[in-house]
Structure 1
Amino acid sequence: MDQNMDIVDLISSLLDAGKYKEALTVPKEEKFFNNFRDNCWDLISIVVSKIQNDTITLKPSLYGTCEQLLSLIIESGHHEEALLEFIEQIEVAKNDAQFSIILNPLQQLLLKLSTKRGRTLECCLNSISTYIEAIPVLDLNLEGKERLLMDSDPNVRRIIHVYSLLPPFYQPFIKELKTNYNENTVQIIASFLISLLGKPFVYIDLDPECNYNGQFRQCCSTIIEDICFLLKNILKLFPYLEDCYKESQKNHQAKTTESINDDFEDPFKHKEKINLTTLSGLYYIIFSEDFAVPDFAVPHIYSNQYITHIILISVVHLLSFVEYSPQTKALSLGTSILKRFPDNASHSLLTVPIHYKLCKILINVSIYSNYDGNRKQAVKLIEMYVNKFNYRGRILVLKYIIDNANHSGMIGYAITLYKNSLDQALKKIDIPECFTGAQLHAMIKKICYLPYGEESDLVELADQIISALNFLRYIVLKDLENKTGIKEFLNFIETDYLHKLRTGLNMSKAHYEAKLKEIDDCKKVQNKNVEVQINIVGTMLENIPTKNKKDIINSALNAFHLIEGLVGRLTECINLIKAQTNTQK
Structure 2
Amino acid sequence: MALDQLCDVVQRCQTIENDLYTPEDYDLFQSSARKCIEDGDIAQVLSIIVDEKNKNIVRCMGWNLVGPLVQVRLKNEENNLPHSHAILTHLLEICSSKELLVSLLEQVEAANQDAITETVMFLLQPLQKVLLNFGRKKATFLGMTLSTLLDQIARLPVSSMTEQQDDAAGLCRWCSGLLWFVKPFVEEIKHNYHSGVVHDEELRTEILKFCMKTLKEPLLGVQFTDPDQLENSFLCEFSREILVILCGIGEPLPELLCHKLLKKRDVPGFLEEEVRYPRESLANIAYLLFVHHIGIETFPVVLSPVFILQCNMEYVELLLSRTEESHLQRGLDLYEKSLVRVEDNSLSVELLELKTFVSIPQNLVKVMTQCPVHRLRSKGLSVFQLSINKFNIEAKYKFLRCMFKTSHHSGVEGVVIKNIKNLVDFSLRPGNENIWFRGINFLPLLRLVLCLPQGPETDLLQNLDRIMEALNLLRYLLLRDKECDNETGIWLEVHTIHDRFMKPLRLGLNMSKAHYQVELKNTQVKDRNKENDSGAVCTITVGNEILPNLTPELQIQALHSALFTFELIESVLVRIEEIMETLP
Give the alignment's TM-score, normalised by structure 1: 0.84
**CA displacement at 1:323 relative to structure 2:** 2.2
Identify the match of residue 379 of structure 1 among 374, 378, 381.
Answer: 381
Aligned equivalents of 1:327 and 1:510: distance in 2? Answer: 44
Residues 21-74 of structure 1: CA deviation (Å, up to 9, x unaligned): 34433311345433112222222344345665xx45xx4566665554433221
CA distance in 2, matches of 1:208, 1:530: 45
Amino acid at match of 1:98: T
Q: Is the 8 A contact 2:290 2:296 kept in 1?
A: no
1:421 alignment partner in structure 2: 423
1:102-138 CA-partner distances (Å, limit 9, x unpaired): 2111111222333332432223223333333354569
Residues in 2 aligned to 1:41 and 1:230: alpha-carbon distance in whole angstroms: 34
AA aligned opposite 1:123: M
Q: C-alpha deviations, 1:528-550, integer Å up to 9, x for none?
A: 999552236x6311422212211
Alpha carbons of 1:389 and 1:64: their partners in 2 closer, same or farther (altered >3 Å)?
farther
Count of aligned positions: 540
Choose from 27, 43, 63 the match for 2:49: 27
Give how far 1:91 is off. Answer: 4.2
Change in 2 beyond 3 A, CA 1:65/1:374: farther
Aligned partner (choices 58, 80, 94) of residue 76 of structure 1 = 94
How far has the Cα of 1:201 moved from its partner?
A: 1.9
1:205 matches 2:223: yes
- 2:234 corresponds to 1:230: no
Which residue number corresponds to residue 239 of structure 2? 220
1:282 aligns with 2:301: no
**Which residue number in structure 2 is paired with residue 566 of structure 1?**
572
Letter in 1 for 2:35: S
Comparing 119-128 with 372-381, greater Cα deviation is found at: 119-128
Residues 463 and 65 (structure 1), Cα distance of their counterparts in 2 relative to 1, 3 Å cut:
farther
CA contact (8 A) 1:3 1:35 kept: no
Matched, 1:540 2:552: no
Structure 2 equivalent of residue 461 of structure 1? 463
* Deviation by residue 1:220-263 (Cα, 9 ceiling, x = unmatched): 22222222333352132347779xxxxxxxxxxxx966xxxxxx
Structure 2: gaps (5+ residues): 1-22, 194-198, 262-268
The answer to whether the 8 Å contact 2:109/2:152 transfers is yes
- Are 1:131 and 2:138 an aligned pair? no
- Compared with structure 1, are the counterparts of its residues 442 and 63 closer, same or farther at alpha carbon in structure 2 (3 Å cutoff)? farther
158-167 or 65-74, which deviates more: 65-74
Counterpart CA distance in 2 for 1:572 and 1:175 is 80
Number of the residue aligned with 1:492: 496
Give the superposition deviation at 1:199. 2.4
Instruction: Give CA-to-partner distance per residue, 1:371-428, whole Å, 9 cap, x none.
Output: 1111100100100111111112112222222222222111111111222222222224
> For residue 534 of structure 1, what is the amino acid of its counterpart?
T
Letter in 2 for 1:553: L
- 2:517 alignment partner AA: E
CA–CA distance in structure 2, aligned partners of residues 402 and 65 of structure 1: 74
The 1:379–1:128 alpha-carbon spacing in structure 2 relative to 1, beyond 3 Å, is: same
Q: Cα gap change, 1:123/1:543 in structure 2, threshold over 3 Å: closer, same or farther?
A: same
Q: Partner of 1:261 in structure 2?
A: none
Residues 1:195 and 1:429: Cα distance change in structure 2 (over 3 Å) = same
Summarize deviations over 1:456-513 as a string: whole Å, max 9, x none.
Answer: 1101011111111112222222233322112112222222111111111111111111
Q: 1:521 to 1:489 in 2, by over 3 A?
A: same
- From 99, 115, 132, the counterpart of 2:120: 99
- Give distance in 2, aligned partners of 1:137 and 1:562: 49
Question: Conserved in 1, the CA contact under 8 Å of 2:66 and 2:103?
Answer: yes
Moved more, 119-128 or 278-287: 119-128
Q: Which amino acid in structure 2 is aligned with residue 522 of structure 1?
A: K
The amino acid that maps onto 1:453 is G
**Deviation sequence 1:135-162 (CA, Å, 0-9, x none):** 4569xxxxxxxx77554898x8443332
Larger radius of gyration: 2
Corresponding residue for 2:176?
Answer: 164
2:288 & 2:569 partners in 1: Cα distance? 47
Residue of structure 1 in register with 2:189 after alignment: 177
Deviation at 1:89, TM superposition (A): 4.0
The one-letter code of the counterpart of 2:525 is D
State the match for 1:330 in structure 2. 331
Distance (whole Å) between structure 2 residues aligned to residue 567 and residue 193 of structure 1: 61
Distance in structure 2 (CA, Å) of the matches to 1:518 and 1:90 = 70
Checking the alignment, whether the CA contact within 8 Å between 2:161 and 2:226 is kept in structure 1 is no
For residues 182-232 of structure 1, what are the alpha-carbon distances to aligned partners after superposition, in whole Å with 9 as ceiling and x for unaligned?
Answer: 262333313311210112322221224253112222222222222233335
The residue that corresponds to 2:438 in the other structure is: 436
1:119 is paired with a residue of what secondary structure? helix
Q: Is the 8 A contact 2:440 2:489 kept in 1?
A: no
- Output the CA distance in 2 between the equivalents of 1:240 and 1:122: 25
Paired with 2:170 and 2:422, the residues of 1 have a C-alpha distance of: 49
Q: Distance in 2 between matches of 1:452 and 1:406?
A: 13
Contact 2:176 2:238 in 1 (8 A): yes
RMSD: 3.0
Instruction: State the partner residue of 1:348.
Output: 350
Structure 1 stretch 219-228 or stretch 113-122: which is displaced more? 113-122
Deviation at 1:524, TM superposition (A): 2.7
Residues 126 and 384 of structure 1, relative CA distance in 2, 3 Å threshold: same
Aligned to 1:478: 480
CA contact 2:336–2:383 (8 Å) conserved in 1: yes
Q: In structure 2, what is the Cα distance between the partners aligned to 1:305 and 1:435?
A: 25
Bigger relative contact order, structure 1 or 2 (CA pairs below 8 A, ≥6 apart):
1
2:559 aligned partner: 553
SS of the residue corresponding to residue 328 of structure 2 reads: helix
Describe the shift of the 1:436–1:569 C-alpha distance in structure 2 as closer, same or farther (beyond 3 A): same
Distance 1:371 1:532 in 2: 30
Separation in 2, partners of 1:64, 1:325: 45
Overall identity of the aligned pairs, in %: 25
Q: State which of 33, 38, 44 in structure 2 corresponds to 1:11.
A: 33
1:179 alignment partner AA: H
**CA offset digits 1:328-357 (Å, max 9, x no partner):** 111111111123445421111100011111
Q: 1:37 aligns with which of 44, 55, 59?
A: 59
1:502 to 506, 509, 514: 506
| Alignment match, 1:265 | none
Counterparts of 1:166 and 1:124 in 2: how far apart (Å)?
A: 11
Given that residues 319 and 331 in structure 1 are in contact (C-alpha distance below 8 angstroms), is that contact kept between their aligned partners in structure 2?
yes
CA distance in 1, matches of 2:82, 2:523: 77
1:109 to 130, 143, 152: 130
8 Å CA contact retained: 2:539, 2:546: no
Alignment match of 1:186 (pick from 204, 224, 229): 204
Once residues 175 and 444 of structure 1 are traced to their aligned partners in structure 2, the CA distance between those partners, rounded to angstroms, is 64
* Aligned residues of 1:241 and 1:279 also touching (Cα < 8 A): no
Matched residue SS, 2:35? helix
Q: 1:284 to 1:542 in 2, by over 3 A?
A: closer
User: What TM-score, normalized to structure 2?
Assistant: 0.84
CA distance in structure 1 between the aligned counterparts of 2:440 and 2:188, rounded to whole angstroms? 68
Against the structure 1 CA distance between its residues 280 and 443, is the aligned structure 2 distance closer, same or farther, given a 3 Å change threshold? same
- 2: CA distance between counterparts of 1:65 and 1:427? 87
Secondary structure of the corresponding residue to residue 293 of structure 2: coil
Indicate conservation of the 8 Å contact 2:455/2:504, yes or no: yes
Q: Say if 1:534 and 1:541, in contact at 8 Å, map to a contact too.
A: yes
Distance (Å, rounded) in 1 between the aligned partners of 2:472 and 2:274: 54
Partners in 2 of 1:495 and 1:134 — Cα distance? 64
